[in-house]
Amino acid sequence: QVQLVESGGGLVQAGGSLRLSCAASGRTFSSYTMGWFRQAPGKEREFVAAISWGGGGTTRYADSVKGRFTVSRDNAKNTVYLQMNNLNPEDTAVYYCVARQYGSTRFSDLLSGDYWGQGTQVTVSS
């Protein structure tokens, strides 16, 4: 069993930055591909970014965040990060992390992930 706890959300002005963290319990963190999804009110959950298991040599991003967001992982700390720069109001959503053991970074694979966090709210004001 793996528990995921997100943190780092908050209120930021447009153009600002936030770094989200997702801390995982357990001893097998490195075997999980990790992903970030977000869900805005009245909208479906959408893929944001993913990083492959192991050393995280493969990353994938939604077109809407490419060049602004960076996903990374620290296996020694059982944590995955999402650095978000140049935020805009359209980024406002609840952000969730997901873990899938030995999964690919494709959003379709992560959508049926093994474990999900409870989410952290990100609000970007104009």
Report the percent of the chain where pLDDT is more than 90. 88
In this predicted structure, which of 10-14, 81-85, 112-116, 120-124 has the lowest mean pLDDT? 112-116
pLDDT of residue 107: 86
Cα gap 4→96, rounded to integer Å:
9
50: three-class secondary structure by DSSP: strand
Q: Cβ distance 20 to 37 under 8 Å? A: no
Rounded-to-integer distance, Cα 36 and Cα 71, Å: 9
Q: Radius of gyration of the chain from Cα atoms? A: 13
pLDDT at 8: 98
Per residue in 1-48, pLDDT (tens digit) is: 899 999 999 999 999 999 999 999 988 999 999 999 999 999 999 999
Measured between its terminal Cα atoms, the distance across the chain in Å is: 40
Structure tokens at 41: 């009110």
